[in-house]
Every structure is written in C-alpha cells, then in structure tokens.
Amino acid sequence: MARNYSMDRRAYLSALGAGTTVALAGCTSITGGGSGTITPGTAPGFQPFEFRDGGELVGFDIDLVEAVVAETDYELGEWQTFEFDSLIQALTSDKIDMIAAAMTITDERDETIDFSDPYYSANQSVIVREDGEFSPSSLDDLSGHPVGAQSGTTGETVIQSQLIEEGKLEESNYNSYDNYVLAVEDLQNGNIDAVVVDEPVGATFADQRPVTVAFVYETGEQYGFGFRTDDDDRTEAVNAGLQAVRDNGTYEELRNEWFSG
C-alpha cells in the first residue's frame, strides 16, 4: 500500500532548496529546471534490491541511488514506497521523480516513461518448494499447476505470454500478488506450486526459505531507473552519475556487498 508523502519533510527540503538557490545563484546547473530534488520511489519486498530490514528500507537500489544522486547537483528526497504496479502512476502524477525498483526496461513501459541507461542484467527464475515433489525443468512443465507472480512484473508477462496465451496454462491457475513475499508464502503453504521471479531475487528467497530455484528462464532483461518523459534534466544527471559511480569503483563495491553469491 502506498505510504503517504511526508509533508514535513517536503517543506523542510523545499526550505533547504530555497536557501541553496540563493547561496548558489548563478550556478546554472542547479538553478535551471526543477526543484533541485530527486524524490525516489520503490517497491520493497524484492531482496536484495529493495526490502525492509527492521523497518529500515535497504538494498542495492537504495545504496546505488544514494551514490548516483550524490554525483549530481540534485538533493536526494525521502524514499516513497508503493506496490510495484503503482510506481509508474506515482511517477507520472509527480508523487515521485524517479523509479528505482529493479524495473526492467521494456518497450511497453518506454511508451509511458523514460529510462536511464541500464544498471543491472537479469533473467527470470522459477522457484518451487524444496521438498522435491514438483521439480519442473521448463515452462511447459508448469502446465496444470497453480503458479504465481507479482502483479505488473515481467515475471507475470512470462506466465501470460508463454503459458496462458499459448494455451498451456489455464488462466485460473495464475495467481497474481501485490508483492513477491506474499507469492512465496503461498508457495511455502502449498497454495501454489511455483513462482516466476527475477533470478537474483529467486536465489535470495532460496537462501532464506525452504524453496529452491528449479530452473532459469532466459529473458535477458536490463533494469533502468524510470523518469517522466519530459524530465531530461534528471534523466541526464542520473546517467552521468551512474557513469561516475561505475568509473570510481562504487558500483562494483555495492555489487559485491549485495550480491555475495
């Protein structure tokens, strides 16, 4: 569920921004265009990219955005959280300025928003219970089994385009969840038999719960940060920041920190 925007924080940041503008008047890179803030939005429950650890929002995307925005003239606003399938709407309605949610760059999404340069590559994985009773080795093996994915994701697209539309899976066998943690809980409970999820996240669930990666389905996805289509300033600033953290070693440090396996 969407968290409400903190007006106190916003007021504080804009007061700060006003002061900064006066102090830096004449510095065109910060006075031109927007407010000088990038308020990022994400969808937690997608470890190790974004999740809650004792209430605190943490993960690779969280650290990466902080490092990238620090390389720009923008201030980082307070993180806002949504269900994954509400992020694009949150962006286009100005609730956030940037999506950082392990979001795959797709043609369909590219019609509504702009993406930064790619920052991570991934495939899909199919995870099942560890007990070994059901161990599919291809998508076709999912026929006749209840399967799940998070609403609005590319995992869901794989189920729809490769199984349901191909007549290999009954629509009633597809269960869509607000987030992947709920899907995996249903898998553990035996309510569904498989979950289709991005491979790095499937591997993390397998580390922490009695589930296992049955097989990987290659999609060659690339994650990008999302921006409004009229917001070239932030898009370009973040692309430059991304290049800077790749060049100075921070990107690799964060990768090693969050993807130890």
Which residues of the shown chain bind ligand ARG in the complex (CB under 6 A)?
43, 46, 50, 84, 101-104, 150, 153-154, 198, 221
102 by Cβ neighbours in 10 Å (0-12 / 13-18 / 19+) ranks as buried
Helical pair 199-208 and 180-189, crossing angle rounded to 10 deg: 50
Cα end-to-end span (Å), the chain: 31
Cis amide linkage into residue 136, ω under 30° from 0: no
Q: Select 46 or 227, whichever has its Cβ closest to ligand ARG.
A: 46
Answer whether 115's CB lies under 8 Å from 239's CB. no
Q: Please list the residues that pair with 198 across neighbouring strands.
A: 124
Which one-letter amino acid corresponds to residue 224?
G
User: How near is the Cβ of 29 to ligand ARG at its closest, in Å?
Assistant: 31
Name 60's Cβ contacts closer than 8 Å, sequence gap at least 6: 48, 49, 50, 120, 254, 255, 257, 258, 259
User: How near is the Cβ of 197 to ligand ARG at its closest, in Å?
Assistant: 8
Q: What is the dihedral of CA 226, 228, 234, 236, to 10 degrees?
A: 70
SS3 124: strand
Answer whether 99's CB lies under 8 Å from 226's CB. yes
Q: How far apart are CA 152 and CA 150, in angstroms?
A: 6
User: Beta-carbon neighbour count of residue 68 at 10 Å?
Assistant: 30
Q: Select 13 or 242, whichever has its Cβ closest to ligand ARG.
A: 242
SS3 136: coil
